[in-house]
Every structure is written in structure tokens, then in C-alpha cells.
Structure 1
Amino acid sequence: MTRVYMNRWFSVAYHYINMIRENPDGEKFEFFGTHPDINHMSLVASDHPGTEPAVVGRDYVDFCVDYCRENRIDLFIPRLHMEEISRYAHLFDEIGTKVMVCRDIALLDSMVEKDKFYETVEGKGLVAIPDYRVANTAGEFKRAYEELTAAGHRVCFKPTKSEGGMGFRIIDDERDPLRELYGYVTLSTSFQQAYDTLSSVERFDNLMVMELLSGVEYSIDCVATAEGDLITAIPRRKSTGRTYLLEAVPELLEMAERIAISLRIPYAFNIQVRYSNGIPKLLEINPRMSGGLYITCLSGVNMPYLAVQALQGKAIEPPAPRFGIQAGYVEQPLIMKQPDFEIDLLAQKTR
């Protein structure tokens, strides 16, 4: 029985745990999970859910090391504080726990800071980069906006260090605030609103002010060996609403291969691009399983299990994904705990 620990994951960990557990080889796994909220949905599929302390840095790493030692964890699949865990990966080696993390600390740090990562890949012929500027004062923000609009771009901005869509805004000077009060929550803001807010402080955390890419967006889910050799890459196109299309786009598959050869990112990672005038431009690369990976797995490829096999050092035959699949998702209720009297009734029926 292989023991797997996942720390403070997204809710989709529920799917990934079940995919690994229901692997085609019949390999047995026991899952451990922690989160500050014991009722978090990421813990529902875990055999051993638990809470974790509100600590950061080395203190958090020490918590994870102690947890792995006490529970005799074989495989650790982290999400939170991956940079710190990577810095102290040797502590897990010492207790016999394999960690699904990129050990190239400089590369991992750059992937977290989007502007640094753009600098890392720019000029290497791997992928096109959007036109962007970095600002941490209102004056720099204004200058960046003016330069980008003068170049003919619509403009958006987001923190250089953020996850998902946190902090992302589109500058739209034609928006109607009154109409928006009666509509859906919007990601748009006017330049003046943003500028006035940013002017309220002398300096703020770095913002990436960039061209708004208006074409089709793709997430390319990838799995590689511990050495970074690409095993599989599956492009997932974002369509309308909650629908996606799994497409074998040659230029995106070639891009994934180039990135893998150059950067050597191990295990599971995700490349996000968006088209502009027929050119796919990089949004970001996440060195972990993506939030939408469970949809990509409808291709017939159990990518979480492939990543686990790679972490175990097993030889993996490249899979043959099914493409042309259109998919979506809906909410599904899950019982997290049953009343005691219902549990008693179930027990009586099994006697």
C-alpha cells in the first residue's frame, strides 16, 4: 500500500485522489490530506483528513516533514508553498518521502513571479510573449497604459505573483457602472478608477500591465518524467460557458515539446496560452496539476496516475489520448457526514 499526502489543495483534489485510486494497474494507495478547514472539499476523498497550522516558510516545511515522518508517507504531492518545499526537498529525501516538486529552485521561483518567467523564456524561441510592462507606482502604471494603448492594444493587468484569476482586471473606459450594478460581477475597471486607487499609496506590489489577448485560450496539460522528458501533452480549449474541447493542435503540441526540452519541468505541469492575431502567446506555466485536469482526463489518459508513476520512477509508455472530445462540468452533491441514526441503520442492514 503506497501512502500519499496532499497538502492544502484545491477542491479538485477530490477527483485526482479518486483517479489515482482507480488506476488501471490495480495499485493500492492510502491518502492523507491536510487543510486549515477540516470541511474543505479537497479532503472528502482522503482516507485520513486533518488540519494544518497557519505557519509559513521553514515552519510550514517542518510541519510537512513531521507529518510525512509520523504517517510514513511514501509520496508527497504539494500545492501550497511549493517554492519553500523545493528549497528543503532534501529533508524529505532523508525520511524516504518522494516529493512531486520541481527541484530547479530558480526556475520554480520564476514560474511563480510571472514577469521573471517571461524574462526566462523570452528570446529562446519557445513561445511568443505578450507585450507587457511592470509597474509598482501609479506613475509607472499610467505610463505603461499609455504605451500599450499607443501600440494599439486593449489593456489588462494582474499581480505578477498570483494564482488563477486573482487580481486580473480589464481596462474598459466605455463601461457603464450603473448598468453593471444590475448585471453580473465584472472583471472590468476604468483606467481612472484603477489609477485613482493605485495613487492612494506610494508603492504597491508589482503589477503586470499587458496587452489583452482576445483570441481562443488553451490549457495544455502535460506530464513528464523526473528528468523532464515529456510523456504526454493534451491541449484543452476553453469554449463557451463551462464547455471545453480536447484538440490535437500541432503547433501547441510542438510548443509543449520545446518547453519540456528547454525547461525540464518534471511530473505534472500546465501551459496556458491565448491566441492573438493567429499567434499563441504565453499566459503562464503552472508547475503542478491544473484545476481543469480532470476534464483533460476524459481523453482516456489518467494523468494524475501517470504523474505518480513518474514520481515513483517507473517506466511509462506514452499514452494515446482521444481528441475531438467536447466536455463540461456540473455541480454534484456529496455527502460528507451522515447522521448517527442513519449510520446505525446501515450497520444493521449489513448484519
Structure 2
Amino acid sequence: MRIWFNKTFSTIGAVFRQLKSGYPNGEVTIVCTHTHRTATAFLASDETYLEPSELHGLDYVAWCLDFCRAHRIDVFWPGKEAALASQHREQFASAGVKLMAAADHDTLALLNNKAHFYQDLSKDVALAMDFIAVNTAEAFDQAVETLASKHNRLCVKPAVSVYGLGFRILDPERDSIVHLLKGVEYQIPLRELQGGMANTPHFETLLVMEHLGGPEWSVDCAARHGELLCAAQRKKSPLAGHGQAIDNHPDIAGMTERLIRHYRLNGLVNIQYKEGESGPRLLEINPRPSGGFGMACLAGANLAKIALEAFNGETPEIPPLRYGLKVSEINTPVVLLEEASVV
């Protein structure tokens, strides 16, 4: 079986390693493409190719179809333009290619915009933090006033963001010079943010939210069109370097199963939670493997193999998970290229 992973996050290498360990006799060939020849995912794949960096949208999907035909791809597991590829699933099927998408086009588009996602989310499915979406300075000021009357600390984040980019805790007291001198991270002075908004009367959607100050969980899931097959919870330590714990929080387990079922999620999915004053709250659904995917599999389940077996119509064996493990990752130096002329 030839499986193609196009350009995606560098952490996809952990998925490759799990697939190889799950199919040690070479039943799976991992084909990987990227726009950079030094992509670390190349180190864990069987075949590597460069893809054009200038293509996007429908032009990129057309290139993907041609690539599948030229390289005899059986399964396409998309990263870049996953929602658009899902929308054109039938074209891939006509070329004999099965598309491993985490959801349909509309759901993937919904998950990509946290403002739309939170507004769509039913409390019967999962609980999210208190939030208000804003696009103007006036709306921002009103949101801060409203939420500050109910919550001790507030934070902000762009509605469209990955890896926590743009997340900041609002600091109503200290200025940026204090943040700089004290080494304060992930905070922003409220007054200075408001001052910047005066020069930008309208901006892309920003979420003003209650700040959840408790521990965070990252849940890596293998699913089959709304059926949760296996989920490994990783509870993150608030102290750097103290690792993560394989956990089994019942509230998180319940929300995870309902979210998978409600949005008919498929393949490898990551769901993140954080604890607030009233218990765990949903942060986001990532329709892709997480950066800590390899640590999740230390719980005793090869999530990548489980997802692939289910995708192929097989009945995967789901082993019992080992709760209470303390896990972490160790950085390993590697050679990306052997050319003497690399600069």
C-alpha cells in the first residue's frame, strides 16, 4: 500500500515511525512531499519528492491528482489544502485513490475558524470557555468590560491560528517595558493593545476569552467517521521539563467521544482541553496528528495503524492503555543533507 503525505507539519515523522513499526514487513510504503528539501519528515519516509511552492487552491489539487497518478498512490493523507482535497474526493476516487480526510470540507472549514466553531458548538456535546468574537476596537472594549465582570483574567487569540500563535493573556496593570525586563511571556498590556487598535479600526476576527488557568490536556484520537476507536490523553505539566502524564479524565473522555461522533471525525485527530474555574473546557479540535503524537502512542496503542486499519475496512485490535505513565521526548541531532555546498 502506497500512502502519500503531502506538505504538512514537521511532526508528521512520528506518524511515519508508528506506521513502519505497525507494518514491519514493508506492507506500507510512505511517500512524502514538501516544498523544502530539508524537511525533517523526509528522514522517516520511504520516498521523497519536492512539490511546487507556488501552487495553491484548485491548481494545487490538480497537481495532487497528477502526482497520485504518476506515483501510483493508493491512499492520499492530505495536510496542505486538506479541506479542498476533501471537497474533491470523487476526483481522487475516480483515479483509484482513497482520501484519508479528518472530516468533510464544511467541517474542516468550520474547525479552522474558532469563532465559527465555538458558536456552532452545542453545550450538550462539549463545554468551551466564555468568549466574545470582535472585529473593532469598540467591540473589543465592550467584550473586555463584559467578560471582566465575570472572570478574573482574560486572554485573546486570533480566530484563525495554529500552534497557539497570537495567544496572549491580557495584563491590565503592567506595561511592555516591565514584560521585557521581567521576561514575561504570552502576555500583552491591555492599554497598549487598545492603543494599537486605535490605528487599526477594523481587524480580522479576534476572540476575547476567559483565561483558563489550570492544567492542559492534549488528546490524540483514532476515529472512523464518527466512531472513536482509541484516545490517549496527555496531561501537560505546568513546569517546563517535567514531561506529561498519560491520563484518563472522565469528563475529557466523554467530551472527546461526543465531539468525534457529532462532527463525524475520521483518521487521526487531536483535541485540546484546559481546566478553568468550573472544570475542563474545550480549546480546539485539530484535524491532524499533534506534535506530541509519538508520546501519546507510548500509552500502548499504535494510533496510526489503528486509524489505517479502520480506514481500510478492517477491525483494528484496541489494546488497553497504560495510564499514569510519565512521558517526554528527547531531541536527537540529525543530518538533513550531506552536500558540502549547503548554506
Instruction: Indicate the TM-score class for this superposition, using the shorter chain for normalisation.
Output: over 0.9
Structure 1 partner of 2:226: 228
Q: Which runs of 5+ in 2 are unaligned?
A: none
State the identity %.
Answer: 32
Q: TM-score, normalised by structure 1?
A: 0.90
For 2:184 and 2:86, how far apart are their aligned partners in 1?
Answer: 37
1:258 matched to which residue of 2?
A: 258
Could you tell me how far apart the structure 2 residues matched to 1:101 and 1:185 are?
Answer: 39
Aligned CA RMSD, in angstroms, stands at 1.9
Q: Deviations over 1:40-66 (max 9, x none)?
A: 212222222222222221111112111
C-alpha distance after superposition, 1:243-302 (max 9, x if no partner): 110012222222222222322211111111111124111100111111111110111211
Inter-partner Cα distance in structure 2 for 1:278 and 1:202:
35
Aligned pairs for 1:201-240 (under 5 A) are 201-225=200-224, 227-239=225-237, 240=239
Residues 101-180 of structure 1 mapped to structure 2, 5 A cutoff: 101-123=101-123, 125-175=124-174, 177-180=176-179
Letter in 1 for 2:305: Y
Paired residues of 1:155 and 1:211 also in contact (CA < 8 A): yes
Which 4+ stretches in 1 moved above 6 angstroms?
none
Q: Which residue is equivalent to 2:66?
A: 66
User: Partner amino acid for 2:327?
Assistant: A
Aligned length: 337
- Equivalent residue of 1:205, what SS? strand
Q: Do residues 46 (structure 1) and 45 (structure 2) align?
A: yes
* Alpha-carbon distance, 1:233 to partner: 1.2
Q: State the one-letter code of the partner of 2:328.
A: G
* Equivalent in the alignment of 1:286: 286
Match of 1:288, SS state, is coil
Query: In the aligned structure 1, how far is the partner of 2:222 from the partner of 2:14?
Result: 17
- Go from structure 1 to structure 2 and tell me whether the alpha carbon gap of 1:48 and 1:281 turns closer, same or farther (over 3 Å shift): same
SS in 2 for 1:136: strand
Residue 22 of structure 2 corresponds to residue 19 of structure 1: no
TM-score normalized by the length of structure 2:
0.92
Deviation at 1:230, TM superposition (A): 1.1
Which structure 1 segments of 5+ residues have no match?
341-351
| Contact 1:228 1:267 (C-alpha < 8 Å) held by counterparts | no
Paired with 1:183 and 1:89, the residues of 2 have a C-alpha distance of 52
Deviates more, 1:208-217 or 1:314-323: 314-323
Distance 1:204 1:85, change over 3 A: same
Aligned mates of 2:13, 2:286 — CA distance in 1 = 19
Shift of 1:176: 5.1
Aligned to 2:189: 190
CA distance in structure 2 between the partners assigned to 1:91 and 1:103 by the alignment: 17
Q: What secondary structure sits across from 1:122 in the alignment? A: coil
1:139-159 per-position Cα deviation (integer Å, ceiling 9, x unaligned): 111111111112234111111
- Residue 337 (structure 1) aligned with residue 337 (structure 2): yes
For 2:113 and 2:70, the matched residues in 1 are separated by 33
Contact 2:11/2:290 (CA < 8 Å) preserved in 1? no
Q: Residue 179 of structure 1: CA displacement?
A: 4.3
Change (3 A) 1:184 1:332: farther
